[in-house]
Structure 1
């Protein structure tokens, strides 16, 4: 099988949350280049996706369902959901967190991801190849110090992907989690310099990843070449991951 065939996404109908961010935008661009029909969601419509974007607050479950209904109607169905919306939240000791800070990180990163998955599944056909790709994090496996809320939320995303993947294993709907280490995005600006340096030091390859590398892995996961994996976590950590 050639790479061109393996990565042909022609006819795949996709919604990408967090499409205005670095990773979401990179995934959207890669998918579109491979032939997918893409709609991106964010709190602000990205200029480059003006005619193929929707303003959606993923923490509002009812708004998510309305938006997913509208997207599926516009696209003529739904085959792919990529959940890339997220924030890092506080990067300091858990004892200094406020309840509101904790709740906001989980609202966006965990609850918002579930709302989107929940809504998307109502439009995916069990006998048609469909993929749900959720951006988790190595923090969800290791538990980054100073990032209790983010680590907990991403651990929840990983568990959710595993659970739903097994639940749907006898259908054609597959679930995937991507667990990156540091990626060169605007999210790094939400972290203090010491936290960034400490996490970079844990990466044997000595560098952060790029949004394009995330997009390439996502493209493979939803391609015909990825035929025997679901409910799994795919590390993108430059060698940091240990399990």
Structure 2
């Protein structure tokens, strides 16, 4: 069955949208008519979308990008906080402090920074959809990915807390927590690590970026109007709660 959406009157921002899951989400939003603004520290052109160079840890860059979006759009309807950095796959004791600071900075503080500037506009118009990309690591705590797990857990808790702060408005805030998805980011961990991930999955495979994008778009649609403060697994059955 083919699922279709109509986002023809929506303006969407996708952070980390140049590659991987973010690019797939942005592509699908464009396909279904949204006016899409892709924010990425290393932007890559995407047909039908506006692409801006934005480091989500830099408030001034976010402010400048917001100003440009505001010229072309009266409101922001959808925010996908997708920018992420996995870091090295290694034990915490051998991890350089500068690296865990970057992991926390991009994956958690970046969500704070972007949301802090977008949310007031959504509150002003009384509606909006925010989807934060977390990770299964944030629910289970994965060895050799301690900092990434901690950042992802923060995204999950932030989603739940923020959703309750804005529950008196038309703003909905949800989180998607993928397990291992077939992206370059995961493949760079090496065949041995990837094979272990596949073995740990009840479905015995990696998820696809299209599958993740399908869930994100559903959360941005009217079909998901009763969901807020929720965390949706994409783990192939691996998540235990």
Give TM-score, length-normalised by structure 2: 0.94
Question: Structure 1's 129 and 170: CA in aligned 2 closer, same or farther, altered over 3 A?
Answer: same
Query: CA offset at residue 81 of structure 1?
Result: 0.6
1:104-127: CA deviation from partner (whole Å, max 9, x where unpaired): 101111111111111110221455
Q: CA deviation at 1:30?
A: 0.8
Question: Corresponding residue for 2:90?
Answer: 92
Query: Quick check: 1:134–1:161 contact (8 Å CA) kept in 2?
Result: yes
CA distance in 2: counterparts of 1:73 and 1:132, whole angstroms = 21
Matches within 5 A, 1:14-33: 14-33=12-31
Which residue is equivalent to 2:159? 161
Contact 2:107–2:151 (Cα < 8 Å) also in 1: yes
Answer yes or no: is the 8 Å Cα contact 2:36–2:49 preserved in 1. Answer: no
d(CA) in 1 for partners of 2:175 and 2:150?
15
Which of residues 167, 170, 181 in structure 1 aligns to 2:168? Answer: 170
Q: Deviations over 1:49-71 (max 9, x none)?
A: 48611100111122212212321
Q: For 1:134 and 1:51, how far apart are their aligned partners in 2? A: 20
Aligned to 1:75, which of 73, 89, 96?
73
Kept in 2: contact 1:8–1:34 (CA 8 A): yes
Mean CA deviation greater in 178-187 or 36-45 = 36-45
Please show how residues 181-192 of structure 1 align to structure 2 within 5 Å.
Answer: 181-192=179-190
1:105-116 equivalences in 2 (<5 Å): 105-116=103-114
The Cα of 1:13 is off from its aligned counterpart by 0.6
Distance 1:98 1:207, change over 3 A: same
- Which structure's relative contact order is higher, taking Cα pairs within 8 Å and 6+ residues apart? 1
CA distance in 2 between counterparts of 1:176 and 1:60 reads 24
1:29 deviates by 1.0
Unaligned runs of 5+ in 2: none
Task: Say if 2:202 is the partner of 1:204.
Answer: yes
Cα distance in structure 2, aligned partners of 1:3 and 1:92 = 40
Structure 1 segments (4+ residues) deviating >3 Å: 125-129
Query: Which blocks of at least 5 consecutive residues in structure 1 are unaligned?
Result: none
- CA RMSD for the aligned pairs? 1.8
Cα distance in 1 for residues equivalent to 2:132 and 2:27: 17
CA distance in 2, matches of 1:12, 1:219: 12
**Alpha carbons of 1:166 and 1:225: their partners in 2 closer, same or farther (altered >3 Å)?**
same
With structure 1 as the length reference, what TM-score do the two structures score? 0.93
**CA offset at residue 226 of structure 1?**
0.5
Contact (CA 8 Å) 1:14, 1:81: kept in 2 or not? yes
Structure-to-structure mapping, 1:125-136, within 5 angstroms: 125=123, 128-136=126-134
